[in-house]
Amino acid sequence: MSLGNHSRFLVLLLAIGFFGGVSNFIFAAETDPELNLEQEVNNSAATSVPTSNEPISSTTQPAGHKNFEPTSRTKNVQSTPANSNAGYIIDARDLSYENEATGPVTVERMEDPNVPYKKRRSHHGFLFSIGMENLEPTEYYSIVDDEAIADTALKTNLSLISAEIGYKYNFQLGSLYATGSFGIGNSKGENATETRELDITKQSLSIGYAADALFDEPWVVPYGQVGVHQFVIDEKVTKAGAESTASMTTSPSLNYRLGLLFQLNWIENKIDPSTHAEGLHSSGLENTFLDAYLTWYEPSSNLYGPSSGSTDGDPDLRSEATFGVALKMEF
């Protein structure tokens, strides 16, 4: 074989080797996941990264780094058309993502305790309170022996310890609420002729209005409510060693209440500013109040007692403008 033929043969081999190497590289790029992923990332970056016409101020940055000002890309996003917001992250707390182990995960935004109550509260809330109130049934006649309470060993007033739970609906002018309460009280007395004990249980349902939108924070909240209640009465009388007992449940009667709520959050903030924020985030506790009120309990429409001439009606447990105090929490 001549030298010219050798040269042409070598050139042909080199050409075949070159094109073979290029083909192998292209095939590897198409089948290699890492190379393919890098290509997809580059394509995605080239097509999906939003651009902005706002000028980017020149700042001194290390060599090889591009200027980056994320705030200039998002500050006017709410004023732009809805379909132009693709790719923008408005608030990282609104993100949802997929977790391979647990499935869809949504990051929910927590309430900001620094926002005033009037602006951050939702339409729905819950109430819980526990407290004590006086009951003064000065017109009560014993269900055991028809004696007026003033002529017995009992005192004419007793204290009811009560708990209350309810739902409230918030709106621009305040809130409407519905509550249910349960209370118990006891009175004991003894003199030279008798020993007497009176136990009273109260069950009540109420609706009311609270003016808790007068200020950004409900420092003082006037409220009023009307309700329906029943009393369960157990009485025991011991005279000359003989014991007599009687029990009954009264018919439903009306009651009215006027009160003021005094917000106590400022005390928490004075002691530890983080206390209220932690309570809001962990249990949804919005407010803690001192509740001071007056209650009017109307008598039953079917009264029992010597003055009524009835022998099978309800005892008169009317009580007018009696004072009560409670610790109330709003969630």
Q: Which domains does the chain have, with CATH numbers?
A: 118-330 (2.40.160.20)
pLDDT exceeds cutoff 70 at 102: no
Asked if residue 224 has pLDDT above 70, the reply is yes
pLDDT for the residue 268: 76
Please report which confidence band the pLDDT of residue 25 belongs to, taking 50, 70 and 90 as the band edges. very low
Averaged pLDDT, 302-323:
79
CB 132 within 8 A of CB 161: yes
Nearest in space to 130 (alpha carbons), one of 9, 278, 291, 257 = 291
> Looking at residue 44, what is its pLDDT?
45
Q: State residue 55's pLDDT score.
A: 46
Query: Confidence band (pLDDT; 50, 70, 90) for 273?
Result: confident
Residues 36-80: tens digit of each pLDDT: 444 444 444 444 444 444 444 444 444 444 444 443 333 343 444
pLDDT of residue 46: 45
* pLDDT, position 171: 96
Q: Is the pTM of this model over 0.75?
A: no
User: Is the confidence at residue 295, as pLDDT, over 90?
Assistant: yes
Looking up tokens 């407010």, which residue turns up? 287
Residue 133 pLDDT class (50, 70, 90 cuts): very high
* All residues at 6 or more sequence positions from 246 whose CB lies less than 8 Å from its CB, including other chains: 143, 144, 233, 234, 235
Give the integer Cα–Cα distance in Å for 303 and 308.
Answer: 7
Query: Residue 116 — pLDDT band, cuts 50, 70, 90?
Result: confident
Residue 269 pLDDT > 70, yes or no? yes
Q: Regarding predicted confidence, which is higher, 191 or 14?
A: 191
Predicted confidence band at 17 (pLDDT cuts at 50, 70, 90)? low
Most confident of 30-34, 89-93, 175-179: 175-179
**Does the pLDDT at position 141 exceed 50?**
yes
pLDDT at residue 306 in the model? 61
Within 10 angstroms of residue 141's Cβ, the number of other Cβ atoms is 21
Residues 6 or more apart whose CB falls under 8 angstroms from that of 208 comprise 176, 177, 179, 223, 224, 225, 226, 257
Pairing of strands 220-239, 253-263: antiparallel
* Three-class DSSP category at 190: strand
Burial class (CB within 10 angstroms; exposed 0-12, middle 13-18, buried 19+) of 132: middle
Predicted confidence (pLDDT) at residue 222 exceeds the cutoff of 70 = yes
